[in-house]
Structure 1
């Protein structure tokens, strides 16, 4: 009921909506409405109430709920159902749990804070409260399970397009990191449940360091990780950025799944790549090789030229990629 009242308040814009009108539309008493209004205020909304006029929202809190994002979405499926948490261990863990129980495609699990956020290879992901975008999208693509890894590059393309549209010069470090000024601001983790010839579900998790401050990072990460706020010198509207990412993601994801066209995403990944043309290190379990990154092929593999002149296609997850002297340099 609280959500329905909030929708009515937001739908009235800066105009008052009377308690009687809310009561008539929702079939609840004026006393019940007053109690729900107080609960909405506790969530951080500033609401003006005037006798004989009713209620109106003066300001909304910086939270990533369905009500705060839905009016910015142009999607048909992605983000139409947002499951919001104040704090959670991991949005990917929760998304996998509800996906296994049949939750529909496009559902987004998003939290203001993660206590056990994870990146690739099980690495910890710093996820402080109300400062980043920590979200996971449930997908059920009808594609060959071997092509699921390409969802990561669809997501990377969507994220970099959205971030650049906010006026930030962002690049992609193949396959799943977004960087600004040579430091990581975003990581993508795609996980699948399936069989040899069938996908049960895919969870695409994304963590974006939006408004973190330097002190939010452990000292050992400050040379490779940053936030948009640190690099731009100002806070960014998280709600607008979430909506832009989901809008671009649905467009590129539909091209990939329905039209079997991954090129739209790969074109972005090539154009915005921070690695192509650079000398890099390929860090495997037992050896480190130097090579030059020369292309991303039609399968989303990184094509490198080794010191002996041979070309090799690197599959995501096989090795870690580093610059010769640092994270990307």
Structure 2
């Protein structure tokens, strides 16, 4: 058994108690320096361990494991999440899923990683994705729809994730246009859809989703704490990552099939009911410049309709939406 596994077993044998460094050193027959190094390894793997100069070490949190085989059996989807590729570490689940898509992977093929070293969000931003605490995933989609429908699938993914998370956590999660999930103004999830087209039709879409599930405040850089949070921080308790993925897959496939059969209108209505953007005066940074206005709803393409101060309506297809300007 590896020394860090022995150390972990020792900490688990003393739940909610401190174990002195001297005791660890003696039981494991290693130096105090070696104990400290193994503690660091456990923390890198997602364990949270409290250290006290006088008392020793105490295990505060153990990451839950994602078992890909049990996960595939835990939901009754026909396609989504039925083929799972699980990795301890990848640069980006998007890159891995795109390679699978190019090699002919079927729709619903899911890539899950415990850790991303180069996770990215919209507009090329980085994403905090420590090992064992979040859900970092990408899925291959092959919808038989025109290219212009791709933005609608981004909104659909946000609706599916928001609805499934609200059911499981009972937290007040809402959607900021187009696809950020927020709790009380702080971001808990991001969604990135990247597509490949052929002959004016979508060849495939790779839908990347990052969910901050069991991150603690210490996992975030200080500058992000004012605008980022996790389900665990907000609820005061950890959640099963496998249960979240299974619930999400079920909801995602249900809404996707509804979209393919009946079009975007039903999805748009669900999105608007979950939106935290509608009715809030905001500043938007578009490729054409900045503007202020109040979002009033989606159009048939998935673009946001914004009412200006003079009462005119403008349709925004791509923009960075700021915080509400009229929040008290």
TM-score computed with the length of structure 2 as normaliser: 0.77
Q: Where does 1:184-199 land on structure 2 (aligned, <5 Å)? A: 184-199=187-202
Q: Name the SS for the 1:255 alignment partner.
A: helix
| RMSD of equivalent CA atoms | 1.7
Change (3 A) 1:267 1:285: closer
Matched, 1:239 2:206: no
Q: Name the SS for the 1:127 alignment partner.
A: coil
Offset of 1:196 from its aligned partner? Answer: 4.8
Q: Name the SS for the 1:87 alignment partner.
A: strand
Q: Is the 8 A contact 1:63 1:112 kept in 2?
A: no
Which runs of structure 1 show a deviation greater than 4 angstroms over 4 or more consecutive aligned residues?
Answer: none
User: For 1:1-30, what per-residue CA distance to the aligned partner results, in whole angstroms no more than 9, with x for missing partners?
Assistant: xxxxxxxxxxxxxxxxxxxxxxxxxxxxxx
**Which of 73, 78, 81 is matched with 1:79 structurally?**
81
Q: Name the SS for the 1:138 alignment partner.
A: strand
User: For 1:86-138, what per-residue CA distance to the aligned partner results, in whole angstroms no more than 9, with x for missing partners?
Assistant: 11110001000111111111100010111100000000001111100111110
Offset of 1:198 from its aligned partner? Answer: 2.2
Q: Name the SS for the 2:89 alignment partner.
A: coil
Match of 2:207 in 1: 204
Match of 2:322 in 1: 322
User: For 1:11-59, what per-residue CA distance to the aligned partner results, in whole angstroms no more than 9, with x for missing partners?
Assistant: xxxxxxxxxxxxxxxxxxxxxxxxxxxxxxxxxxxxxxxxxxxxxxxxx
Match of 1:216 in 2: 219
Q: Is the 8 A contact 1:119 1:187 kept in 2?
A: yes
Match of 1:281 in 2: 283
Matched, 1:183 2:186: yes
Match of 1:90 in 2: 92
Offset of 1:298 from its aligned partner? Answer: 2.6
Q: Is the 8 A contact 1:252 1:265 kept in 2?
A: yes
Match of 1:56 in 2: none
Match of 1:160 in 2: 162
Provide the C-alpha distance between the structure 2 equivalents of 1:228 and 1:256, rounded to a whole number of angstroms: 28
Provide the C-alpha distance between the structure 1 equivalents of 2:309 and 2:179, rounded to a whole number of angstroms: 25
Match of 1:33 in 2: none
Provide the C-alpha distance between the structure 2 equivalents of 1:224 and 1:125, rounded to a whole number of angstroms: 13
Provide the C-alpha distance between the structure 1 equivalents of 2:290 and 2:144, rounded to a whole number of angstroms: 37
Q: Name the SS for the 2:295 alignment partner.
A: strand
Change (3 A) 1:143 1:260: farther
Match of 1:143 in 2: 145
